[in-house]
A and B are shown apart, each in its own frame.
Chain A
């Protein structure tokens, strides 16, 4: 079964054109024009990637994102109006994996989706179990346990944690993480990393305000320690 994408967008013509462009990539695209429709469609038929425009009539994009996150770790791409507002951070905090700013080129969208799909695929088997104090990471199974209890991470959060965990103590700059996890390269938005690190901490740290494992190295980046 091929990759399925749910496109949530209230402008009918944009939706139709984006659907055509994504179908050219060989993906099956279902559509929703409101937040309510999107949630109903997702419940009935979970897809592989969700594309959500923040500006929606009724339930807005943030709320749709949070509602989906309550039950699923499906990759989500947000479409925001502006890059320099709080919208981006709010969207990422609501659970989005990546974002695009209108107007964007469809090629860019498909590149982002491909990167997300690659991230969602399980890692190569044979990776050893990793332990950082009370934190236990099983890359093969896609499982993370803190104090023996399993914590639920999205695919992006998981890949971020594994990336840091595979070189314990090494400091990763945000540019490097953007390149390796999001495949954005040098000019990506550092806030993607920052917000995901924050989300990760709320799940793997006993006290997210005073992280012990995922620590910030000021001016340089992030590292993972025991």
Chain B
């Protein structure tokens, strides 16, 4: 399966969020620009129309009072009396230009406008002067051989438009953020079923084989959950079939094993009457029937764990005594046992048979691969007890320390351990028994620094009331 390239790529959620944000930004920018342009045109046109009306009124009033002989002072007085609601600056032309305010004189009027007006055409024009938008309106007054101009500043409109532009940019930004938020929410919502799938897959991987997805009502998502569940079902079926097969096989092996064991024993009883070569063959058979026996028993135990039908047969167990008895009965050689004094009378709830198997398997492991156990100790630790078995073997290299508790893991270090006795199930059974008791098992180096392995079983203890 091809893995996605991760470098420089955004996740699906980030991409959806980004797309929503960009979309919102473009849309709101377009709307804002249009709004601004339309509003501007509208405002200016209205202002121009209003201004023009007043300019014509003023022009009429100038025409009635002006003659070719009217002096400049009179004109100025007349101009200053005219209504100027938009702060306009009037200019009268009668041979020369007479502005009310000197800064807005002939030069302030665009030349083209002057030409048109002086040629007898009323006109208006929007233009830039002194860094501000201005409107100039000119009305020819042919009856008195003059012309009337007004320059009206549109700058207050520009500041209104500027304020509008700022609010529009702000609105666009808010829209963009809202778009991003919507995108993020939508993507999370759309991807939520995927996180359900991911959790379920994780649960399956951790061995919860009956994990299923809730079948979704949504027609788009239904196929995913259905096919996922189908996959989980067939996976579970296959794993259970494998476990059942192992269990069936080991059950089927018991009958021939019983026959073999009994027959070999009958032959062993008559061993002395057999020819020498037959005796040697018989000895081999006895040994391997025993090995076969142990293997079948271990397989049966393992298949019970796999079938999930195991339960603890809990009993009041005198732990220190059990350890002493187990060591004495399962080991051929004398192994020193160190017991914590506080543990002398402690009675715990445990499955006696399983604890005995744990001790026996650890001692057996030490005998086969560690040159025999050198010591067994039982110590009290926080919340439980630790049972440790030390040997004088080569130890277990750190990289094998977990692997060694897997089934048939003997192969890992078999080269060095070089024994054909074991079948590699003993330690994995130890791990299963211990886990069933809620404890844990591990292997480490010997505490005294000597060469050898130290297997430690830690069991939680609820002291018996």
Contact = CB atoms under 8 A, between A and B. Distances in A.
Interface residues of A, number: 27
Given A18-B262, A219-B347, A103 B313 contact: no
B261 interface: yes
B265 A21 contact: yes
Contacts of A24: 265-266, 269
Given A24-B269, A105-B293, A190-B352, A84 B313 contact: yes
Nearest to A24: B269
B329 to A, nearest CB: 7
Interface in A1-44: 11, 13-14, 16-18, 20-21, 24
Given A21-B266, A103-B297, A187-B356, A14 B304 contact: no
B352 to A, nearest CB: 7
Given A82-B304, A103-B297, A186-B329, A20 B257 contact: no
A110 to B, nearest CB: 9
Interface in A50-106: 81-84, 102-106
A24 B257 CA distance: 19
A105 B353 contact: no
Q: How large is the interface on B (under 10, 10 to 19, 20 to 34, 35 or more residues)?
A: 20 to 34
Given A84-B311, A187-B329, A102 B254 contact: yes
Contacts of B297: 103
A163 interface: no
Given A21-B262, A21-B266, A24-B269, A190 B315 contact: yes
Interface string B87-111: 0000000000000000000000000
Interface string B256-272: 11111111011001000
A103 B266 contact: no
B315 A103 contact: no
B244 to A, nearest CB: 15
Nearest to B311: A84
A161 to B, nearest CB: 23
Contact of B316 (A105, A186, A219): A219
A20 B265 CA distance: 9
Contact of B257 (A18, A81, A103, A190): A103
Nearest to B267: A20
Interface string B277-300: 000000000000000010011001
Contact of A83 (B256, B265, B353): B353
B251 A81 contact: yes
B265 A105 contact: yes
B416 interface: no
B325 A102 contact: no
A136 interface: no
Contacts of B69: none
B70 interface: no
A17 B263 contact: yes
Nearest to B349: A219
A107 interface: yes
Contacts of A104: 258
Given A84-B310, A105-B293, A189 B257 contact: no
Nearest to B250: A103
B254 A103 contact: yes
B361 to A, nearest CB: 14
Contacts of A83: 353
A191 B351 CA distance: 12
Contacts of B254: 102-103
B258 A18 contact: yes
Contacts of B347: 219
Interface string A102-135: 1111110000000000000000000000000000
B329 A103 contact: no
B311 A14 contact: no
Interface in B320-368: 325-326, 329, 347, 352-353, 356
A105 B265 CA distance: 9
Interface in A146-187: 185-187
A11 B296 CA distance: 18
B266 A13 contact: no
Interface string A195-226: 00000000000000000000000110000000
A186 B261 contact: no
Contacts of B265: 21, 24, 105-107
A189 B263 contact: no
A105 B329 contact: no
Contacts of B296: 103
A11 B304 contact: no
Contacts of A11: 255, 258-259
B304 A106 contact: no
Contacts of A185: 329
Contact of A84 (B259, B304, B329): B304
Contacts of A21: 262-263, 265-266
A10 B265 CA distance: 21
Contacts of B316: 218-219
Given A189-B353, A190-B315, A190-B352, A14 B255 contact: yes
Given A84-B310, A187-B325, A14 B259 contact: yes
B130 interface: no
Given A14-B262, A17-B259, 18 more contacts: A11-B255, A11-B258, A13-B256, A17-B261, A17-B262, A20-B263, A21-B265, A24-B266, A24-B269, A83-B353, A84-B310, A84-B353, A102-B258, A103-B261, A103-B293, A186-B329, A187-B356, A219-B464
30 contacts: A11-B255, A13-B255, A16-B259, A17-B258, A17-B266, A20-B262, A20-B263, A20-B266, A21-B262, A21-B265, A21-B266, A24-B265, A24-B266, A82-B304, A83-B353, A84-B304, A84-B310, A84-B313, A84-B353, A103-B254, A103-B261, A103-B293, A103-B297, A106-B265, A187-B325, A187-B326, A187-B352, A187-B356, A191-B313, A219-B316
Interface of B: 251, 254-263, 265-266, 269, 293, 296-297, 300, 304, 310-311, 313, 315-316, 325-326, 329, 347, 352-353, 356, 464
8 smallest beta-carbon distances between A and B, as pairs: A17-B262, A21-B262, A186-B325, A17-B259, A13-B259, A106-B262, A20-B266, A14-B258
